[in-house]
Amino acid sequence: REKEFENAIETYLLSNGYIKIDNSKYNKESGLFPETLFEFLQKTQKAELKQLEKQHGVSYKDKILHRLNQQIKQNGMLNVLRKGIIDFGVKLNLIYFKPASSLNPEAFEKYNSNIFSITRQLRYNTKNENSLDITLCINGLPLATAELKGKFTGQNVWNAIKQYKQDRDHRELAFKFNSRAL
C-alpha cells in the first residue's frame, strides 16, 4: 500500500538526520515552511537577522520572505540556494554546502546546521485540498516532491508521471519550474 511505502521512506529518512514537519506548517501563499527557514537563519546567521530586524522593525520576517520570493521569481530557486539573498546590503545564506575538508570547523558546523525535512501529504493548493505524498525540504525550502504508487494498488511509476502531467496545475506555486521544488 501507498501508506506503508510512505512510512518506509519516512522511517529511513528520519533515522538518517531528517526531521518531520507537519503539513500545517506550510504557507501556501509563499510556498515555504517559514518557521523552519527562520529556525535555520537564527541558528546560522543571528547577527544578520538582528541587523535586518533593526532596519525593518517588527515586520522583518515578512520583509525577508518577500525579498526571498522576489529573488526566487527573478533568479530561480536553484540560484537562490547557491547564492543566497541580499536585503538592505545584508546577505542571507539559505543553505550551507558540505565543505571540501573539515579543516574549517565553523564551515562544517554551519553545514551541519542545515535542516533536512520530510512532510507527508502536503496540502499545497490554495483552492482545494489536493496533496503531495512526500515533500523533501532543506531549511524550509521545498526541493523535491513525490507521488508514490504501488503494484498492490494496480499502479506504477507511469501512473505517478501521468498524475504530475495531467492532474496537477502547473500554474500552482508548488509546481512552477525552478520556483519551488526542483
Q: How many CB atoms lie within 10 A of CB 123?
A: 15
Does the model's pTM come out above 0.75? yes
pLDDT digits (tens, 9 = 90+) for 41-53: 999 999 999 999 9
Q: Is the pLDDT of residue 152 over 80?
A: no
Least confident interval from 63-72, 84-93, 110-119, 143-152: 143-152
Residue 71: closest CA among 41, 130, 40, 30: 30
Instruction: pLDDT band for 111, please (50, 70, 90 cuts).
Output: very high
Find how far residue 125's CA is from the centre of its chain.
Answer: 16
Question: For residues 137 and 18, what is the distance between their CA atoms, to the nearest angstrom?
Answer: 9
Instruction: pLDDT band for 1, please (50, 70, 90 cuts).
Output: confident
Q: Residues 118-137: what's their mean pLDDT?
A: 91
Distant-in-sequence, close-in-space partners of 158: CB < 8 Å, separation ≥ 6:
none
Distant-in-sequence, close-in-space partners of 39: CB < 8 Å, separation ≥ 6:
115, 140
